[in-house]
Structure 1
Amino acid sequence: MSPRRPDPRLTTRLIDIGARLLAQGGPGALSTRRLAAEAGCSTMAVYTHFGGMSGLVRGMVHEGFARLQRAFSGVVDSADPVADMALIGRVYRDNARTNPYLYAIMFGTATPAGFSLTDQDRQYGRFTLARVVETAARCVAAGRFTGADAELVAHQMWSAIHGLVTLELGGYLVPPYDPDTCFESQLVSLMVGQGDAPEAASASVEASRPALERLRRGTGA
């Protein structure tokens, strides 16, 4: 009998299972034996694919940002850069809600004892910010944003949306200030805070809503 061919999806499966175990149960819940049992593989697979537990967690970080980057790549520039910026915020939130366990690992809120992110690991996160910087620059060039430092604008957008999404995933946003209410208001406030006119900002944010639905259906922005 020929040996069973390796499952090309095993790496991703181990990452997803490991992230869930870590986020739900902490470092004590993350063991090669439990990973192997849930993934339906041998304990050696963790070492074969990642070189050990630290490599697995690093793989979670890289995979999390890779998924975010793929999600951002679906945002196509339109004639309205502010709507594009709002869409990027929606995509960021949507990706976090789709991958909540990886989201916690990506930003160091759940890591096993003895593991810490390196500058190289964090570079994956900074790389994804490039898409936000480009869009911020377009908003400035169009006269919609008044700030001249597009990279600073991008950081402000990122930190604000990240904070709201973190509160949402933690279950801290409840009616009447539920996640959707807070998020929609936040998007408009962020655009106005960068210098956009309230009416124009509201219209652009509203225009970004169906664009996200089109991305979810795979029909483009």
Structure 2
Amino acid sequence: MSPKPRANDVKERLVEAAIRLIGEGGPEALQARKLAAEVGVSTMAVYTHFGGMAALVDEVARTGFLRLSAWLAEVGETEDPVADIFSLARTYRQAVAEQPQLYAVTFGQSTPGGKRATLSDLTTEEGREAAQEGLEAFDHIVRATERAIEAGRFRPADKYQAAAQLWSALHGFVTLEASGHFGPGEQGIEHILIPLGITLAVGLGDTVEKAERSTEAAKAAWRARNRNAGQGGND
């Protein structure tokens, strides 16, 4: 007789199956019956491990934030914090582009089974205390923003609020691009995302010349990362 799977194993398999169903069929594909069949358990397992579909959706969102944080952690830090912000933006865009359905749930843009992920205001101390995984992902942008302020590239400001401005613009771009508003391929990066980033950097206190140099540094870093990963060197 096969050993009985551990509770944590079943829970993880349910989350992975939920992400797979959402990715293949959109938010409407996440149903307790389909999920149970995918994992090979009874529908009661969903309620045993999560208490209901709402908590499962929250767990999917938590997983999405953890994966996004892992992506952003790969960027690392250089001596140019503004270039690092551009690199984080490019990486964020790629992560969301590869799993758009997962991140639609993660950011509360879709509601599987009518359930929306529970989100917090990461610009406030109370909100940050309540959302560790989301904060972990957001903190990569916050840290780069803080470094830009300390380096005199951005004027003194609340680092969370300044980072939230950058995040808002970035996520708006990613959402519109995913909907096809900026054309096929990656042309939106050159035509929209990079000029948008320069505009924001200047608005936060940088100069146009320094911001443009940072974009070129970020492009070079992106090409190098892709070459090292064997993915080519497209801008």
TM-score, normalization by structure 1: 0.81
Q: Which residue of 1 aligns with 2:123?
A: none
Q: Is the Cα–Cα contact under 8 Å of residues 80 and 214 in structure 2 kept in the other structure?
A: yes
* 2:97 matched residue in structure 1: 97
**1:16 matches 2:15:** no
- Matched residue, 2:114: 113
> What corresponds to 2:167 in structure 1?
158
In the alignment, structure 1 residue 204 sits paired with structure 2 residue 214: yes
Amino acid at match of 1:129: F
Distance 1:100 1:32 in 2: 22
Structure 2 CA distance for partners of 1:146 and 1:62, relative to 1, 3 Å: same
Q: What's the counterpart of residue 132 of structure 1? A: 141
Alpha-carbon distance change, 140 to 55 in structure 1, aligned in 2, over 3 angstroms: same
Partner of 1:189: 199
CA distance in 2, matches of 1:117, 1:194: 30
Percent identity over the alignment is 35
Q: How many angstroms does 1:158 deviate by?
A: 0.6
> Residues 2 and 123 of structure 1: is their aligned pair in 2 closer, same or farther, counting only changes over 3 Å?
closer
What RMSD, in angstroms, separates the aligned Cα atoms of the two structures?
A: 3.0
Corresponding position of 2:33: 33
Q: Which deviates more, 65-74 or 208-217?
A: 208-217
Instruction: Compare relative contact order (CA 8 Å, sep 6+) and give the higher one, 1 or 2.
Output: 1
Which AA in structure 2 matches 1:76?
Answer: G
Shift of 1:21: 6.0
Equivalent residue letter for 1:132: I
Q: What count of residue pairs does the alignment treat as equivalent?
A: 215
Cα distance per residue 1:112-146 (max 9 Å; x no partner)? 32555254775532342222222111111111112
Contact 2:148–2:154 under 8 Å retained in 1: yes
Measure, in 2, the Cα distance between the counterparts of 1:30 and 1:213.
37
Residue type of the alignment partner of 1:17? R
| Deviates further, 110-119 or 131-140 | 110-119
Q: Distance in 1 between matches of 2:229 and 2:47?
A: 36
Q: TM-score, normalised by structure 2?
A: 0.77
Q: Which amino acid counterpart does residue 42 of structure 1 have in structure 2?
A: V
Distance 1:5 1:113 in 2: 30
Q: Deviations over 1:139-171 (max 9, x none)?
A: 111111124322221011010101111111122
Question: Cα distance 1:196–1:65, how it changes in 2: closer, same or farther (>3 A)?
Answer: same
Output the amino acid matched with 2:181: Y
- The separation in 2 between residues aligned to 1:196 and 1:162, in whole angstroms, is 21
Q: Show CA shifts across 1:29-55 (max 9, x none).
A: 321222244x35223453455343222
Code of the residue aligned with 1:62 in structure 2: it is R
